Structure 1
Amino acid sequence: MSTSQPHVFSGEWLDNPDPSCQHRYREGFAGIPAARWNGWQVFTVSPKVMGAIIDSQHTATLQMVTASVTGGAHLHAAWLDALQHLASISWLGDLVVVDTRVLQSDPTHVEVIAPDSEGQYRVSFGWRWDAVDPGDVHTIHAGKDDCGSRPRQWYRAGSTRGEA
């Protein structure tokens, strides 16, 4: 995998449950491979893409809370239940806070991510990210600068050359 070219990253939690859609993943995020962690991909993203990751997590949390409340749970119980299954991710100025204290049952399990000297954010969160084929992704979140000079040029997982 080329480590200087943009790739699309996704994970099993973003699998597409819609059988009428040909895409395996609901969402993917444009970034540059940076490292591996426990066999999974670590990558850097622009502030715009980081915002899309945060928005995606907020949507998943809201859906889980709403489903619990609709099922009869009190709002505070629904919120705590969601946090037992999902990380809470939010902006704090230009910092990203990944709070998994409830999820991990560990009062110290908080990750704070600052942008690097180029304004990029490192993404891992201890999640199982993979570089995926962009053709398998329904919605790809990318900023103008995340794709090089040709916005739809991507490097497919495992390839060594750009493919449209």
Structure 2
Amino acid sequence: MELTLDRPEASVVLAFNPNLQPGESGYFSGEWLEYQHDRGRRFESAYAGTLVKRWNGWAVWSCTREVAEAIVTDQEMSRRHNRVLLAHSGLAGDKLERYLDQDVPPMRWEGDVIVVERKALGEEDLRIEPDEHGRYVVMGGHWMWEEVPVDAADTVHGVAERP
């Protein structure tokens, strides 16, 4: 489920629980999706999930396949956008692809597994498999995810479970 919200006025207080505990659900995003809007923080996308743990203060969270698919799709959209920016800066061919792969690694589905290509970083590909409940921890411990107020996102993927 995808929900697109109207942008709130700058004076609207954002609903947000900064003390989310493992096992509790919320919405997650990262600084790569953040932009400034009327002197406040906004996010292009937020994703519904359940906090699993903290990693260096950042959120590690799990989500449904539907939400994981949205993350993979957004990553590909980001790659297309960055490819255009890099081409306009004068990069081309293999050099452009190397820069792009280092900055925004390719992600794809192989059956039920998300494959994150990390060869450009000199690392093995990362394989993200669903857990026993069919939930995914997408780039937990690799990307700096944080809980965000649902009303601070332009597009929300999924619905956070409520106790």
For normalisation by structure 2, the TM-score amounts to 0.77
Gaps of 5+ in 1: 154-161
How do residues 1-164 of structure 1 correspond to structure 2 at under 5 angstroms?
1-16=20-35, 19=37, 24-102=42-120, 104=121, 106-108=122-124, 110-123=125-138, 124=140, 126-142=142-158, 146-148=159-161
SS in 1 for 2:114: strand
Letter in 1 for 2:128: I
SS in 1 for 2:143: coil
- Stretch of structure 1 that moved more, 125-134 or 66-75: 66-75
Distance change >3 Å, CA 88–CA 21, structure 1 → 2:
farther
Letter in 1 for 2:136: Y
Gaps of 5+ in 2: 1-19
Decide whether the 8 Å contact of 2:72 with 2:107 is kept in 1.
yes
Task: Tell me by how many angstroms 1:117 deviates.
Answer: 1.2
Structure 1, residues 52-103: CA drift from partner, whole Å, max 9, x if none? Answer: 101111011111112223444334432222112122211111101122231x
Letter in 2 for 1:67: L
Question: Which residue of the partner structure matches residue 3 of structure 2?
Answer: none
Q: Give the paired residue count.
A: 143
Question: Which residue of the partner structure matches residue 158 of structure 1?
Answer: none
Counterparts of 1:107 and 1:134 in 2: how far apart (Å)? 34
Decide whether the 8 Å contact of 1:65 with 1:75 is kept in 2.
no
- Stretch of structure 1 that moved more, 120-129 or 25-34: 120-129
Structure with more relative contact order (C-alpha pairs < 8 Å, separation 6 or more): 2
Counterparts of 1:58 and 1:140 in 2: how far apart (Å)? 17
Could you say what the CA RMSD is over the residues aligned between the two structures, in angstroms? 2.2
Distance change >3 Å, CA 24–CA 69, structure 1 → 2:
same
Question: Which residue of the partner structure matches residue 156 of structure 1?
Answer: none
Counterparts of 1:131 and 1:59 in 2: how far apart (Å)? 22
For normalisation by structure 1, the TM-score amounts to 0.76
Distance change >3 Å, CA 89–CA 21, structure 1 → 2:
farther
Counterparts of 1:87 and 1:57 in 2: how far apart (Å)? 8
